[in-house]
Amino acid sequence: MPRIKKSFDRATGQAFTQWEVPGPRAMSGPWNRQRSPWRHTLDFPPKRETKGSAPLVDICVRVAVQHIDQLKKEYLQQLPHHVLGRIWECIKQTESISLETWKLLATTLAPTYTSGEAGRYTCPLLVNHFIAVAKRQPIAAYIEPLISDAFEFLTHISITSNVHGNTAELLQLVQLKNLAILEFTQDDTGQEARSFAHLTDSVLREWSMTPGAFPLLRILKIWGNDCTTKHSLRYISVFPSLVLYDVAGELRDWQDTDESVWKGHDETWKSHLDKTILKHARLLNRALIPDHLTKLTPAPFARDNPSPNPQKSIIPEINLVPSETDTSGASHGLKDRIRRFYESENTWAFVMYSYIGTLLSNRDFSSQGLDIGENALGLGELSFPPRPMINIILHPGLAGFKISSRVCCLSKNIFRRFETQITFVRYLHGERQQEAPKTAPAANKAFKRPSRREADQVPDKIRARKRLKTLSLLESFSKG
């Protein structure tokens, strides 16, 4: 709370009030090594009761857990699988974990297990973990620990409202080659909002001009006034894996969208998470699944669950999205499966990313030369991404700030604060059928100089119009 002090200056005879507001505290150390508390529901294994001295393996595991931040990946890779599992089980019983610890365990433990062993040791924290960080430095300081050019893990960045900074800082995000999901929310429309960063069309244009930008970015959500407009659709088409583009803002910025590849759908967000997921999944079905499944649907990879009927496509076997007239309670089943696995404020983005990968068989990973493995974890037949994902939430760090109420778009119906909300879905099969080649960004289009014949014709046309106007004016005088 700020301290209020009223004073009187005898020399000038003026009375004034003075407020003392504490400034933001500097971080005690690198943010990626600070421990963040769990925000998931965990099922801890029961503690083993032993008599006498503890086994040597237990002592070694306990020491390794106490110094986990100092261990290197090369050391853990030399340990047997069951010892790595013991270390992870002890880590889960702690109250916090740093980003570097998660990266160490997620990139070491997750790829080493078969489906049976992974089901024993893997939990939501290893597949998808998120950390809330108060932004007290330029955004470049938060990007550096999240870069993985070898795609050992995926990055999901959520920028909340009232985060101070300038728009130029957002250009640094293009360094994240492993960026999978980007969410930007700015629902504050007051005078102070001018000092906050805005994700505008110019930022997207600069990103699109970077060669090979965001090869694994599938979801882009930008909510805010004075941010992107309908002109951004021409820039985001450059990102090869982007399928879902969700926007919210002023109505005048999104009128008369005429993009053939991107088709918008109004008011797709609901007050309940499961309804929103089902709504967006139906849109993805219509966009990513061609009309003739047997001809255009790609063959499933080895990691996909085999279909019991080889003549049928794998898409109908994914029991995630019921039909429009389904009343059998499939929505309730999906909700239970999501809650049984984990609960998180940002479940929507992770589930949508996984669902897009299931529909497209993770072709974007294969195009980057990545091994997607033979086994997949997931909710039933919904496979999770082939790489673990970390979600970093940048918030202003103000007193009384609650992640659960400001990050989650459903908790306080943030989507209702804007004049319009549109979900654009990319129709990939329609894009392939177009005979015209892919269009480059508008900023990259070369200026086409007119030919000499066309240049000579332009002045003649202008002179003819001027003569016609002059003649009509003289005729009006003669008639008057």
Window from 42-46, 48-52, 197-201, 370-374 with minimum mean pLDDT = 42-46
pLDDT 10s digits, 288-331? 876 544 333 333 333 334 333 333 333 333 344 433 444 444 44
Tell me, what's the pLDDT at 412?
55
Rounded to whole angstroms, the Cα distance separating 100 from 105 reads: 9
> How does the average pLDDT of the chain come out, rounded?
72
224, β-bridge pairs: 186
Query: With 90 as the cut, is the pLDDT of residue 175 above it?
Result: yes
Q: What is the mean pLDDT of residues 328-336?
A: 47
Q: Using an 8 Å Cβ cutoff, are 398 and 162 in contact?
A: yes
pLDDT tens-digit profile of 92-141? 776 578 888 888 888 877 655 444 554 555 566 678 888 888 888 889 99
Indicate whether 47 pLDDT > 60.
no
State the Cα angle at 110 between 107 and 112, rounded to 5°.
Answer: 100
Name the residue with higher pLDDT: 454 or 224.
224
Give the pLDDT band (50/70/90) at residue 240. very high
Residue tagged 């599992």 (tokens): 85
Taking phi over 0 as left and psi of -120 to 50 as alpha, with beta for the rest, 201 belongs to alpha
Q: What are phi and psi of 145, to 5 degrees?
A: -70, -10
pLDDT in tens, 416-475: 788 999 999 998 755 655 544 444 444 444 434 344 455 455 455 555 665 555 556 556
Pairing of strands 389-395, 128-134: parallel
DSSP letters, 16-77, are EEEEE-PPPPPPSS-GGGS-EE--S---PPPPPP--SSPPHHHHHHHHHHHTGGG--HHHHH
Write the DSSP symbol of residue 285.
H
- Decide if 268 contacts 423 (C-beta within 8 A): yes
> Distance between CA 384 and CA 350 in Å, rounded?
9
| Residue 153's pLDDT band (cuts 50, 70, 90) | very high
List pLDDT tens digits, range 402-421. Answer: 554 334 454 456 777 889 99
